[in-house]
Amino acid sequence: MTRNARILLLRCVLLNFLLCLTTAVAAKDGPDCSRPMTLALHDHGLLYSADQDVGIDKDFADELIRRSGCKISLTLMPRGRIWQLIERGVLDFSLSGITNEERDKFAGFAWYFSNKYYLLVRNDAKAHSLAEFSNDPKLQLGVIRSFRYGNNANRMVDKLDAEQRVSYASGLDPLYQVLGLNRIQAMIIEPFDYADIESGQIRALTSTIEINDESIAHGLIMSKKAISPQQQEKWRALVNQMRADGTVLRIFEKYFTPELARAMVNF
């Protein structure tokens, strides 16, 4: 073997050693991938379109899988079912979830964006504020089952629910339909719903009202029964890396203007 050949061989051995070392360090610092895991998406505007198999949460999930190196199966479920399975420990993850006192008991979170909610109201309802809508007994509100919002929105939903003025649905499309038919007069929306509203006939019938809640953090949902506190921290670190290196921003810029994308991921 010539001297150059020996040098080349030595370099190859050294590079393989460094690659193995880097992989071992990443495996040690990263999440535990010793078992297959599950993550559920829900069909909701720009977050995920089941018909097209695209959306922010799909992009986020794909990157999470790539970085972790874990085998994670993606499924589609209604939001209410997701929370039930997270609580039981049957489902490991979901995405774009918000917390409250009840959910904190069974779920951990890794935040990656924040947004506000708005009330989409039929113009012929003649309600120009949250209070006007809430105080008119003739008006009905539509919400997605198991969705929660900010404090003001939650208080309104709970009040109207007690007055039997809330219609529940499994997703956005049924709510758009009954809003168009005037069976409900308002629904709660967020930026992920703008594209559907602007492209449909519902835009001409409605206006938006400020709810005046603070921007609400959304994140990776982790089942406390399925994922230990130590492993939750590793997944949290992975999400924080995606935020720090601009990956989350780049995902959001695919779907929103740069200004709105920055406002949602920089919180």
Residue 115 structure tokens: 């947004």
- Please report the pLDDT score of residue 174 as a whole number: 94
- Give me the phi and psi of 45, to 5 degrees please: 50, -130
Return the exposure string of 223-261: e unless at least 16 CB atoms fall within 10 Å of the residue's CB, then b: bbebbeeeebebbbebbeebbeeebbbebbbebbeeeeb
Question: Which residue matches tokens 């986020």?
Answer: 60
Cβ 186 vs Cβ 175: under 8 Å: no
Strands (E), the chain: 37-41, 72-76, 93-97, 107-115, 118-122, 141-144, 166-169, 186-189, 206-210, 216-223
- Please report the pLDDT score of residue 11 as a whole number: 55
Location of each CATH 3.40.190.10 domain in the chain:
37-115+216-265, 118-210
Domain 118-210 in CATH: superfamily?
Answer: Periplasmic binding protein-like II (3.40.190.10)
- Please report the pLDDT score of residue 240 as a whole number: 98
- pLDDT tens per residue, range 205-246: 999 999 999 999 999 999 999 999 999 999 999 999 999 999
- Please report the pLDDT score of residue 19 as a whole number: 37
Q: Which residues of the chain have pLDDT under 50?
A: 5, 7-9, 12-27
- Please report the pLDDT score of residue 29 as a whole number: 84
- Give me the phi and psi of 35, to 5 degrees please: -140, 155
CATH number of 37-115+216-265: 3.40.190.10
- Please report the pLDDT score of residue 15 as a whole number: 41
**pTM of the complete model:** 0.84
- Please report the pLDDT score of residue 22 as a whole number: 37
- Please report the pLDDT score of residue 3 as a whole number: 53
